[in-house]
Amino acid sequence: MKKHLIALSLGTLALGIAEFCMMSILSGVAADLNVSIPQAGHFVSAYASGVCIGALLMVIFARNLGLKTLLLLIVGFIFFGNALTVFAFDYWSMLGARLIAGLPHGAYFGVGAIVATQLAKKGEASKDVCLMVAGMTVANLIGVPLGSFLSWAVTWRLAFMIVAAVAALVFIGIKIWIPALPALPDHGFSAQFRFLTHLTPWLVLGAIGFGNGGFFAYYSYVNPIMENLASVPASLMSAVITLAGFGMVCGNLLAAKLSRRVGSAALACLGQAVLCCSLILLFFSAQLTWIAIALTVIAAGCVFFISGPEQVLILQNAKEGQLLAAAMGQVAFNFGNAVGAWLGGLPIEAGHPENWSCVPASVLAGIGFLLLFATWKIHSAKSAEKEQAQ
């Protein structure tokens, strides 16, 4: 892997642990800070709020900075926010620390994707963005389970110490391995939003939100589904989660490999179709242990199979607003997670078995597929027009 991609992927590794680890250590954090589990859930929401706020702040205050300088500033915030989390001592200090830790999340993915695209060889932009996102998949495979174990064996604070340490390494890696890159052309504040007057960016952002919402409508309830319906012992749930993380890694790497031969729109459309089908099949086969586990791994793989191509698509259709567009992709991702988890719980609250979370999940994923299919058709039409013009 190219050295600059190693640095960028380490950054997504740090962000993956920072974002997802809190969900696996929530009970320990709540007990240590003397708050209830619902109150501790606010720490997850605070991070997601920071993701949304950080995207707008970047466009307002940092759009004139050189890309390398901006990336170093963002990584500094990753270090600072997670260092604050280590020393949180009550509800309010943790809430503030998590908000600050979330600020650089969307901005990092946005600027990192732009840097990876600019430094990529011709025809390899999608592959390089996939490799950058690979850190997030490794976080789910290794980082989050490790953080959960360290929380149980030592202290939950150690997980965020690791994130801060990785952020420091990322800072050094970017400083050494990424060349100086100028700021993107600045056509004014309002120009950053001009791409939103076109249809295609909304299709891609909608696909990100609905597609990821579909997965998390199911995955938020994977524990009760596996234990109560698929008869997986509680002692083996960590193995199931690890397998799902392995699926994420494989899906991401497969997309990187196929991106050399298949366009981003077609690739994302294919992955979304498989995700939708796997969620439908999970509804009907949740009681079949090994089939349910296999379909969960496939669904998890699809999420990160799609992620890189979607990030490239949003950049391709952003024109003057690439910084905002790339960060909005992460806002859509987190918004989809939150809404998907809520919708997936509604059938369960109504008294249906846990596998009924797959109903809203497959509907959301199906909408995501239709939006990506429309994007693919638009891209195909534009490509045909260019070929005829030549």
**How does pLDDT run across 160-198, given as a tens digit for each residue?**
999 999 999 999 999 999 999 888 777 777 777 888 888
Give pTM, 2 decimals: 0.80
Q: Please give the mean pLDDT across all residues of the chain.
A: 87
CATH superfamily of 1-177: MFS general substrate transporter like domains (1.20.1250.20)
CATH, range 189-390: 1.20.1250.20
- How far apart are the C-alpha atoms of 327 and 314, rounded to whole Å? 10
Q: Taking the mean position of all CA atoms in its chain, how far away is CA 51? A: 11
Diameter of the chain measured on Cα atoms: 68
- How far apart are the C-alpha atoms of 310 and 144, rounded to whole Å? 24
Structure tokens at 353: 């078995």
Residue for token pair 């199906």: 366
The confidence band for 387, taking pLDDT boundaries of 50, 70 and 90, is low
Phi, psi of 260 (to 5 degrees): -70, -25
Query: pLDDT for 87-118, tens place per residue?
Result: 999 999 999 999 999 999 988 988 898 899 89
Alpha helices by DSSP H, listed for 142-263, are 144-153, 157-177, 199-219, 222-224, 237-258
What pLDDT shows up at residue 227? 85
Percent of the chain having pLDDT more than 70?
98
What pLDDT shows up at residue 209? 92
Per-residue pLDDT for 389 more than 70?
no
SS3 65: coil
The confidence band for 74, taking pLDDT boundaries of 50, 70 and 90, is very high
Per-residue pLDDT for 238 more than 80?
no
Per-residue pLDDT for 245 more than 90?
no
Structure tokens at 113: 């994707």
Percent of the chain having pLDDT more than 90?
42
Do 362 and 283 contact (CB within 8 A), yes or no?
yes
Residue for token pair 């949740």: 286
Structure tokens at 313: 């698509």
**Residue ranges of the chain assigned to CATH 1.20.1250.20:** 1-177, 189-390
What pLDDT shows up at residue 372? 94
